[in-house]
Chain A
Amino acid sequence: MTSLVDSFRTTMRGYLTYRGREGHLAFLLHRLTGLGTLLFLIIHIVDTSFVYFAPHLYAETIELYRSTPFMIGEIFLVFSVIYHGVNGVRIAVVDMWLPHKWTLTAQKNWTRWAVLITIVLWLPAAFIMFRSMLVHNFGFGG
């Protein structure tokens, strides 16, 4: 049991104190957004299966998703799916088709591009979802 705690500590310390700048941050954000999306996906598969297994409960779960905290969470979920996807394509393309193009400086630039593309795609989506929240949850005129 102690060895499990030790290895947890060692790995977490590595995650937090490695100083790889762009590469380090891209790795942490990729991992965080991947795990965050997975956590939601697990809940979401189960709640959607209620349509068949417990139709009378489906309305209640949807009601939860319509609440303000969940609608704010939804905006971050969409950020996660966009960033993880853009950065994931970067990883896949370099690993499988352009390994000879890998240099540290090139990857630093690609990583910055991934963040920029993410923000450009996310802002309009975030705006639409935020507006929908104001209209439905706070009575702003549609």
Chain B
Amino acid sequence: MTTSSQVRKVEVKPNYENVAWKWMRYSGIALIPLAWTHVLIKDIVVGVHAIDLEYVIVQWSSIGWQVFDILLLAFAFAHGMNGLRQVSFDFIHGAGARKAVSWGLFVMWLVISAMGAIAIIAAAQNHLANL
């Protein structure tokens, strides 16, 4: 073994947790423009008193905002749910229990993501069909 003040690089075959760890960092950086732009527009510039059904439908009749909202949904919710999974491992140590919690969170993520994505895509389609 060599001793040195340099950081030593060791090649390790990436496993699932390795990928998840990187995902938290890359998706976090992607969320700076995505989440902050969203908050700046909706909460600060427009404000909750100016948001209603019509406002949302008009937003989603723009393909650009549909894509933006889909990306925000995908990155923010997957980042947050994987974060919750990591926090839960601080409290749950058994391999079987961890597996069960992971699957539970995964199903929850899938169902809620699908609800959000369907609304973004279908609400606008629906509206266009009625024009």
Residues of A near any B CB (own CB < 8 A): 4, 7-8, 11, 31, 34-35, 37-38, 41-42, 45-46, 48-53, 55, 58-59, 62, 65-66, 70-71, 74, 77-78, 81-82, 85, 88-89, 91-92, 95-96, 99-100, 125, 128-129, 132, 136
Contact = CB atoms under 8 A, between A and B. Distances in A.
A55 B80 contact: no
Contacts of B62: none
Given A7-B92, A136-B49, A48 B116 contact: yes
A55 B53 contact: yes
22 contacts: A11-B91, A38-B81, A45-B73, A45-B115, A48-B116, A49-B115, A49-B118, A53-B115, A53-B119, A55-B53, A58-B53, A66-B49, A71-B48, A74-B48, A85-B36, A89-B28, A92-B29, A95-B25, A96-B22, A99-B7, A125-B44, A129-B47
Given A51-B53, A85-B36, A91-B25, A34 B80 contact: yes
B51 A62 contact: yes
A58 B77 CA distance: 21
SS class, residues of chain A in contact with chain B: helix
Given A34-B80, A95-B25, A85 B35 contact: yes
Contacts of A65: 48
B123 interface: yes
Contacts of B92: 4, 7
A89 B29 contact: yes
Interface string B69-88: 00001001100110110010
Give the bracket for the number of chain B residues in contact with chain A: 35 or more
Contacts of A128: 44
B49 A92 contact: no
Interface in B58-117: 60, 73, 76-77, 80-81, 83-84, 87, 90-93, 112-113, 115-116
Contacts, number: 108
A56 to B, nearest CB: 9
B39 A81 contact: yes
A59 B118 CA distance: 19
Given A45-B73, A49-B118, A85-B28, A129 B43 contact: yes
Nearest to A92: B25
B31 interface: yes
A74 to B, nearest CB: 6
B17 interface: no
Contacts of B60: 51
